[in-house]
């Protein structure tokens, strides 16, 4: 399905954010020429942690390819709607976005170094796109700009977790860039990502506009300078009504989207870890009342799919449970202060 080529393109891995770190210059021979004036030159990437800031984000355990740290999708044979979340690597969660009304988003729960490649963006491939829902579409193109195929991440049975990344509202929020390599789409972190940070990407002008977002001319200059004007092949979209929390407190949710202080939900794991059974408590921000109920569902352990009733080897904050009743994701943990970890 994927054709091997030697060319590849990396976007903003030379962000000014890293000037305090020692930089290593890696040469990329061929950049895709149809990408607007993208310099054929160098990928500047930091792999050497010389300052505290860099050190914190240095992860010697991650494999490196072409100067990028690599975090691959978790392989799975699940062929139902759980497929998409089974591809989520350890260290990330999918949960309510910090952006009001944006639905779910992806969060880093551990430090992710700058210059880490995530993906690829999987979905249903097609030569032509006949549908009218562009929400999860990416274009993959040949060097001359001709469209090779479309990737539609809408169907959760085929998509990878990258489908959940939301669009940054400002350039400062952009912590990912898009990267097409061997006719596959990846995201690359353009800065050190701290735990609890939502991963956000610029969807491109036309998609951004459809969400009411626009880059200023200063943003464009900055983007140009830092090489951010890379292809973002997502096109116009039909907006989904994803916000599922309908209540008289709707506005409050919008204003304080799941910040720990404004809204807290936590899970209390049953002592025997009888699997993915937990008590889900949601605090209504208006009445301040807690509403708790038992919940049971599927679990993931370190990205590995765990069937219902199968035991965890041990527990930690990368075990995630999907509640059948609410359809929402929670983490399980053996520690006393579960709230500290379950920040949903
Ligand atoms: C590729 S999907 C991202 C994942 C999506 N949030 C979900 O829950 O499946 C793109 C859709 O997410 C929502 N979205 C992403 N970024 C947004 C933003 N900055 N503001 C509002 N909605 C956003 C829009 O509905 C958009 O069409």
Residue ID of nearest Cα to ligand 1 atom 13: 102
Find the 201 Cα to ligand 1 centroid distance in Å.
11
CA distances (Å), origin 253, targets 106, 147, 238? 18, 40, 23
Find the 241 Cα to ligand 1 centroid distance in Å.
10
Residue ID of nearest Cα to ligand 1 atom 10: 135
The token duo for 338 is 């579960």
Alpha-helical runs (H) found in the chain: 52-56, 83-86, 205-210, 217-225, 250-255, 338-341
Find the 167 Cα to ligand 1 centroid distance in Å.
6
| Residue that the structure tokens 């209540």 belong to | 247
Q: Identify the pLDDT of residue 152.
A: 93
Q: Are 274 and 306 in contact (CB under 8 A)?
A: no
Binding pocket residue ranges, ligand 1, CB within 6 Å: 97, 99, 101-105, 135-136, 163-164, 166-167, 169, 211, 213, 237, 239-240, 242
Rounded Cα distance, 301 and 332, in Å: 10
Low-confidence ranges of the chain (pLDDT < 70): 1-60, 66-67, 143-145, 221-344
Residue-wise pLDDT for 30-66, tens only, equals 222 222 222 322 222 333 323 334 445 665 678 877 6
| Cβ neighbours around 292 below 10 Å, total | 14
Backbone φ, ψ for residue 203 (5° rounding): -75, -10
The token duo for 82 is 């759980």
The token duo for 72 is 């691959």
Q: Are 118 and 107 in contact (CB under 8 A)?
A: no
Task: Give SS3 for 338.
Answer: helix
Backbone φ, ψ for residue 85 (5° rounding): -80, -20
Find the 131 Cα to ligand 1 centroid distance in Å.
18
Find the 166 Cα to ligand 1 centroid distance in Å.
5
Find the 95 Cα to ligand 1 centroid distance in Å.
12
CATH number for the domain whose boundaries are 16-225? 2.170.270.10
Residues of the chain with CATH 2.170.270.10: 16-225
Q: Which atom of ligand 1 is nearest to the CA of 203?
A: 16
Q: Which atom of ligand 1 is nearest to the CA of 234?
A: 1
CA distances (Å), origin 189, targets 45, 87, 147, 158, 308? 11, 18, 25, 24, 34
Rounded Cα distance, 171 and 94, in Å: 22
Q: Are strands 200-201 and 166-167 parallel, antiparallel or unpaired?
A: parallel
Residue ID of nearest Cα to ligand 1 atom 20: 102
Q: Identify the pLDDT of residue 172.
A: 86
Q: Are 59 and 28 in contact (CB under 8 A)?
A: no
The token duo for 107 is 């969060």
CA distances (Å), origin 333, targets 48, 90, 280, 315? 34, 15, 13, 5
Q: Which residues contact 216 (CB under 8 A, 6 or more apart)?
A: none
| Residue among 92, 58, 57, 59 at smallest CA distance from 74 | 92
Q: Identify the pLDDT of residue 96.
A: 92
Q: Which atom of ligand 1 is nearest to the CA of 210?
A: 27
> Cα-atom radius of gyration of the chain, to the nearest Å?
20
């Amino acid at each position: 399905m994927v054709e091997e080529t030697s060319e590849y393109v990396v976007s903003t891995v030379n962000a000014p954010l890293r000037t305090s770190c020692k930089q290593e210059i890696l040469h990329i021979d061929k950049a895709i020429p149809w990408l607007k004036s993208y310099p054929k030159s160098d990928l500047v990437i930091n792999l050497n942690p010389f300052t505290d800031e860099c050190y914190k984000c240095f992860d010697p355990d991650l494999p490196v390819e072409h100067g990028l740290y690599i975090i691959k999708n978790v392989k799975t044979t699940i062929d139902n709607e759980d497929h998409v979340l089974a591809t989520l690597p350890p260290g990330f969660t999918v949960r309510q976005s910090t952006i009001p009304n944006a639905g779910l988003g992806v969060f880093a729960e551990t430090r992710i170094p700058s210059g880490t490649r995530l993906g690829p963006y999987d979905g249903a491939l097609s030569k032509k796109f006949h549908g009218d829902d562009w929400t999860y579409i990416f274009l993959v193109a040949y060097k001359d700009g001709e469209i090779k195929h479309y990737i539609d991440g809408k169907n959760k049975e085929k998509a990878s977790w990258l489908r959940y990344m939301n669009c940054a509202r400002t350039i400062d929020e952009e912590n990912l860039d898009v990267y097409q390599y061997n006719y596959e789409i990846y995201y690359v972190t353009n800065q050190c990502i701290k735990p609890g940070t939502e991963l956000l990407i610029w969807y491109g002008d036309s998609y951004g506009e459809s969400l009411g977002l626009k880059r200023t001319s200063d943003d464009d200059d900055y983007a140009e300078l830092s090489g951010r004007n890379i292809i973002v092949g997502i096109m116009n979209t039909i907006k989904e009504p994803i916000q599922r929390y309908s209540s008289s407190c709707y506005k409050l949710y919008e204003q304080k989207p799941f910040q720990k202080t404004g809204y807290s939900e936590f899970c209390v794991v049953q002592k025997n870890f009888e699997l993915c059974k937990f008590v889900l408590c949601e605090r209504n921000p208006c009445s301040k009342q807690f509403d708790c109920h038992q919940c049971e569902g599927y679990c993931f352990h370190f990205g590995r799919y765990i069937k219902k009733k199968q035991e965890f080897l041990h527990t930690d904050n990368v075990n995630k449970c999907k509640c059948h009743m609410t359809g929402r994701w929670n983490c399980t943990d053996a520690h006393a202060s579960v709230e500290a970890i379950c920040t949903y």
